[in-house]
Chain A
Amino acid sequence: MSALEVAGASKIFNQGTPKQVDALVDVNLTVNPGEFVSLIGPSGCGKSTLLRLIANLLEPTSGAVSVNEKTAAQARLDQDYGMAFQQAGLFDWRTVSKNIELPLELKGWDKTKREARAKEMLELVKLPEFADLYPWQLSGGMQQRIAIARALAAHPPLLLMDEPFGALDEMTREYMQGELLRICGETATTVVFVTHSIPEAVYLSNRVVVMSPRPGRITSVIDVNLGSKRNEDTRAADGFFRSITAVREALRGTHAEHASANAIRGVEDR
């Protein structure tokens, strides 16, 4: 059984018009339960589009996407996944706790159950004392942790993240990466993670999926063998640097194919 399966999916915008964009062509990807997979590639390679196909926020032009052995549409209705974006996107008019309760509210949970779950999630992200504050009273890193708590509130088996730490400073970012691994480990959540940062992808992932633009497609998949226990020492390990080099070379490959100077634009080399 797979947590997620993308089979021969293509997404073409403005098909048949002069503005036609082949955002994704013939993408195949299988993700196993509990696996952490990153999507990396230059701007315009379709990694966000792929994430939105999985989330059923976009329909594939051809091919099929299944989540949790269901169609993507059914999985969305059943809230089989949670989603987090670059902007935390918390609602200003709701308290932290009420923000986490939002998906549960939409699902029709009763108040006591919602509040209990929000409390549990706040403890998971280690911010239990902030329940009654408003999001704009928190720092960016805290807001992003609340957004993760909200995404996981309904205990979905799959978490989809679109550059969630892109707006954070480097220190907060590394701390958040560690927290994300801990949270996903504790909850046994499968993650598909879009990023621009090679070290981030390597540190977090079991597999790094390298993508290339025009047309958007998967060019290689790199296994990261750093074990399941990762900590700050991992960042200094040889294997970490070997994997970073492997991903970088894979990205260079996409670069060389399109001898365009800005094809690799948008990938951070740090």
Chain B
Amino acid sequence: MLMRRIAYRSSMFVVAIALVVALWEFYKIVGPQDGGKLFGVSILPRANNTAMPHVWTMLSRYNRPEVRGSDTKIWSVVLSGTLFSLRLSLAGFFLGTMIGVGLAVLMSRFKVVQRGLLPYLVMSQTVPLIALAPLVVSWGGKLQIGSFEWPRWLSASILGTFLAFFPIAVGTLRGLASAPAAAVELMDSYAASWKQILFKLRFPAAVPFMVPAFKLGASGAVVGVVVAEISTGLKGGIGRLIIEYAREATGDPAKVFTAVFGAAALGITMSGIVALSDVLLMRNRPKETSV
């Protein structure tokens, strides 16, 4: 049953990618080479090989050196960049989960905290990440606790955390509140402690709300890390590669796409990890409660 569902989903994934490839190549055949204008506004993308390289050009680019005359093939550079960013995203996601779930528990326990804190959490998400990135780097640089020195990559992870914690906090808060009043009354009739109610009733009841929140949080962590890499100039990650390769777009248009696909693979890996947890956590639940 489970294996069949996984097989079905992965085959749909392959079909979807094949459709995108077909659409891309189809447009290259029928689309205007120099773009189309409608009422004087450029609206159709250019279909030439500089703007839209062939799929096979992009794929074969992976097997050629990163720079002319170098021994390192570009796939290994993109792969290590993706793994670097994945580690940062995972760290950011993990921290975001800790903070998000912690805040949600605190807010569900004390209504005063919820009323006081929630508006600020919402506001925090309106701060542009680009503006925040240099600040976090400079604060981190000044921070020194004992022998702990703030590594540069941690700033990028923190920005991932910044985007990840919010959906997790809000989703978990809603989930914790979703436990039916009758169930809480039942626990009260057993003279259950607050902690027992939290772990035996509220958290299990919150799972259907937490899983989609984790999905949002995971993609938020990836976006935060990639944007932070770009705006703080952190080397080694996929965000940095995209920026570097984009500069060569006129001479080597396929190159930037190799990095873009790396970023896409990063996002898919992160959401895949969460989807796996979804399958594991919801396997014994009635089908209609899974969100």
Point out the residues of chain B lying under 8 angstroms from A92, CB to CB.
Answer: 285-286, 289
Binding-face segment, A1-9, A98-106, A187-195: A98-106
Q: Which of B193-234 contact A (CB under 8 A)?
A: 196, 200-201, 204, 207
A76 touches B186 (CB 8 A): no
Contacts known (A89-B180, A93-B207); A57 close to B189, Cβ less than 8 A: yes
Point out the residues of chain B lying under 8 angstroms from A103, CB to CB.
Answer: 190
A93 touches B180 (CB 8 A): no
Point out the residues of chain A lying under 8 angstroms from B284, CB to CB.
Answer: 93, 134
A93 touches B191 (CB 8 A): no
Q: Which of B174-190 contact A (CB under 8 A)?
A: 180, 182-183, 185-190
Contacts known (A57-B185, A106-B196, A136-B286); A91 close to B201, Cβ less than 8 A: yes
User: Does B143 lie at the interface of the complex (its beta carbon under 8 Å from any beta carbon of A)?
Assistant: no
User: Does A152 lie at the interface of the complex (its beta carbon under 8 Å from any beta carbon of B)?
Assistant: no
Binding-face segment, A22-30, A79-87, A211-219, A248-256: A79-87
| Cβ-neighbour of B186 out of A77, A83, A134 (below 8 A) | A83
Contact surface of A with B, Cβ cutoff 8 Å: 55, 57, 76-77, 79, 81, 83, 85, 87, 89, 91-93, 102-103, 105-107, 134, 136
Point out the residues of chain B lying under 8 angstroms from A136, CB to CB.
Answer: 285-286
Contacts known (A55-B189, A76-B189, A106-B190); A89 close to B183, Cβ less than 8 A: yes
Point out the residues of chain A lying under 8 angstroms from B182, CB to CB.
Answer: 85, 87, 89
Alpha-carbon distance between A33 and B186 when the two chains are bound, in angstroms: 23
Interchain nearest-CB distance for A115 vs B (Å)? 17
Given contacts A57-B185, A89-B183, A89-B186, 11 further A-B contacts (CB under 8 A): A76-B189, A77-B191, A83-B189, A87-B180, A93-B204, A93-B207, A93-B285, A102-B200, A103-B190, A106-B187, A106-B192
Closest A residue to B179 by CB, please name it: A91
Alpha-carbon distance between A106 and B189 when the two chains are bound, in angstroms: 11
Contacts known (A106-B200, A134-B284); A91 close to B183, Cβ less than 8 A: yes
Interchain nearest-CB distance for B39 vs A (Å)? 57
B189 touches A102 (CB 8 A): no
| Contact sample, A vs B, 24 pairs, CB 8 Å cutoff | A57-B188, A76-B189, A76-B191, A79-B190, A83-B189, A87-B182, A89-B182, A89-B183, A91-B183, A91-B201, A91-B204, A92-B285, A92-B286, A93-B207, A93-B284, A93-B285, A102-B190, A102-B200, A105-B200, A106-B190, A106-B192, A106-B196, A106-B200, A134-B284
A85 touches B286 (CB 8 A): no
B191 touches A79 (CB 8 A): yes
The 5 closest A-B pairs by CB, nearest first: A136-B286, A93-B204, A83-B189, A77-B191, A106-B190
Q: Which of B247-291 contact A (CB under 8 A)?
A: 284-286, 289
Closest B residue to A81 by CB, please name it: B189
Point out the residues of chain A lying under 8 angstroms from B188, CB to CB.
Answer: 57
Alpha-carbon distance between A81 and B200 when the two chains are bound, in angstroms: 20
Alpha-carbon distance between A102 and B191 when the two chains are bound, in angstroms: 12
Alpha-carbon distance between A103 and B192 when the two chains are bound, in angstroms: 9
Point out the residues of chain A lying under 8 angstroms from B186, CB to CB.
Answer: 83, 85, 89
Alpha-carbon distance between A105 and B196 when the two chains are bound, in angstroms: 10
Closest A residue to B186 by CB, please name it: A89
Interchain nearest-CB distance for A259 vs B (Å)? 35
Alpha-carbon distance between A77 and B190 when the two chains are bound, in angstroms: 7
Considering residues A76, A83, A92, A105, which has the most beta carbons from chain B within 10 angstroms of its beta carbon?
A: A92
Closest B residue to A75 by CB, please name it: B191
Alpha-carbon distance between A180 and B185 when the two chains are bound, in angstroms: 22
Closest A residue to B180 by CB, please name it: A89
Interchain nearest-CB distance for B115 vs A (Å)? 23
Point out the residues of chain B lying under 8 angstroms from A107, CB to CB.
Answer: 190
Point out the residues of chain A lying under 8 angstroms from B183, CB to CB.
Answer: 89, 91
Alpha-carbon distance between A102 and B200 when the two chains are bound, in angstroms: 9
Alpha-carbon distance between A136 and B288 when the two chains are bound, in angstroms: 11
Point out the residues of chain A lying under 8 angstroms from B196, CB to CB.
Answer: 106
Closest A residue to B284 by CB, please name it: A134
Point out the residues of chain A lying under 8 angstroms from B180, CB to CB.
Answer: 87, 89
Alpha-carbon distance between A87 and B191 when the two chains are bound, in angstroms: 20
Point out the residues of chain A lying under 8 angstroms from B201, CB to CB.
Answer: 91
Point out the residues of chain B lying under 8 angstroms from A134, CB to CB.
Answer: 284, 286
Alpha-carbon distance between A43 and B275 when the two chains are bound, in angstroms: 47
Alpha-carbon distance between A224 and B167 when the two chains are bound, in angstroms: 59
Considering residues B180, B182, B186, B188, which has the most beta carbons from chain A within 10 angstroms of its beta carbon?
A: B186
Interchain nearest-CB distance for B213 vs A (Å)? 18
Point out the residues of chain B lying under 8 angstroms from A57, CB to CB.
Answer: 185, 188-189
Alpha-carbon distance between A106 and B191 when the two chains are bound, in angstroms: 8
